[in-house]
Each structure stands twice: as C-alpha cells, then as structure tokens.
C-alpha cells in the first residue's frame, strides 16, 4: 500500500508522515507549484498549477489497494473506482456506499449557489486537536483492517 495525499492545504500531512515513517509505509505527496512542500517521510510530486492538474496526477499514480487522503469528493470517487481506499482529512472514510450521496450534495449546493438561492454557505469549522485525533484513529483503524500495521 502507498498513501497518496492531495497535499495542497491538507492539515494532516505531518501526522500521516509520522505514521508512514513509523511503519515504513510508502508515501506520495501531491501539490501544485503554488505550494512548497518538503518531506523526509515521502516523495513530494509537484505538478504545474493548472485546473485539476494535481488531482489528475494523483489519480494516474493511484492503484488498487492504495490509500488516498483528500477532501475532494471527485478525487475520492475516481480513487474508489480504481479500487483504492479514501479518507477525508476529518477521518471520514469515503466508500462506494456514501460517495454518490456526497457528490449529489455537492452538486445541489453548487446549483443553489448559482441560482442565488443561497448567498452564503458556511465554511468548515476551525480545526481542533480533537479533529486530528479523530483522523489519526480513522487512519490507524483502516491500516489495521487492511493488515498494513499490527
């Protein structure tokens, strides 16, 4: 298993790096040229800053059995289609059972914004240490379930 991170603005990179080093898990971090990342735990892959360029590069490298960490439902859907596992930075696991509903919610929210029915959508809450603990627990659970860690 390789962990692939959609690393642009991902708040759990250091947590994943620590775990990857601890258990010897291969790690790829994808970012665009607008971000400067350095990693001692994995390989940083910098992609030109084009629309969806990072997403497409990540999906092209993704294989069945890999783990993708992303907050992008579209990336998650494509990774699931390739047989990969997917986690949101909140620790929520994307699955074939929930991805269609998440994509529909995203579509409906976009339509509401375009029709001016909703003029303000709340952004995400400020990240807390509890959020990091929740992500770490979800990551450990998935890695144990798949036999990657004891």
**Average pLDDT score over residue span 62-71:** 97
Tokens standing for 125?
A: 């809450």
Percent of the chain with pLDDT over 90: 74
pLDDT of residue 108: 72
Tokens standing for 14?
A: 């250091």
Q: State the residue range of the domain holding 72.
A: 2-95
Residue 144 inside a domain? The answer is no
**Average pLDDT score over residue span 40-52:** 91
**C-alpha distances in angstroms, 46 versus 16, 26, 39, 66, 80?**
18, 17, 12, 20, 23
* Residues contacting 34, CB < 8 A, separation 6+: 8, 49
Q: DSSP class of residue 42? A: S
Residue 84 inside a domain? The answer is yes
pLDDT of residue 5: 98
- CATH number (domain holding residue 61): 3.40.50.1010
How far apart (Å, rounded) are the C-alpha atoms in residues 86 and 146? 13
Residue 116 inside a domain? The answer is no
Percent of the chain with pLDDT over 70: 93
Crossing angle of helices 73-81 and 53-61, rounded to 10°? 20
Residue 67 inside a domain? The answer is yes
- The pLDDT tens digits for 94-128 are 999 988 777 787 667 777 777 776 556 666 788 99
pLDDT of residue 118: 59
How many domains are contained in the chain?
Answer: 1
pLDDT of residue 109: 72
Residue 68 inside a domain? The answer is yes
């Amino acid at each position: 298993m390789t962990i692939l991170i959609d690393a642009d603005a991902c708040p759990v990179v250091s947590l994943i790096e620590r775990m990857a080093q601890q258990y010897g898990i291969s790690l790829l971090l994808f970012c665009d040229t607008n971000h400067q990342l350095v990693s001692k735990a994995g390989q940083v892959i910098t992609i030109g800053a084009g629309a969806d360029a990072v997403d497409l590069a990540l999906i092209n490298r993704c294989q069945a059995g890999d783990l993708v960490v992303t907050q992008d439902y579209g990336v998650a859907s494509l990774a699931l289609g390739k047989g990969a596992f997917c986690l949101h930075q909140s620790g929520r696991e994307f699955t074939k059972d929930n991805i269609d509903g998440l994509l529909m919610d995203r579509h409906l929210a976009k339509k509401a914004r375009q029709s001016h029915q909703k003029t303000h959508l709340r952004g995400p809450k400020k990240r807390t240490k509890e959020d990091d603990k929740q992500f770490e627990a979800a990551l450990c659970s998935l890695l144990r379930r798949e036999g990657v860690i004891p």
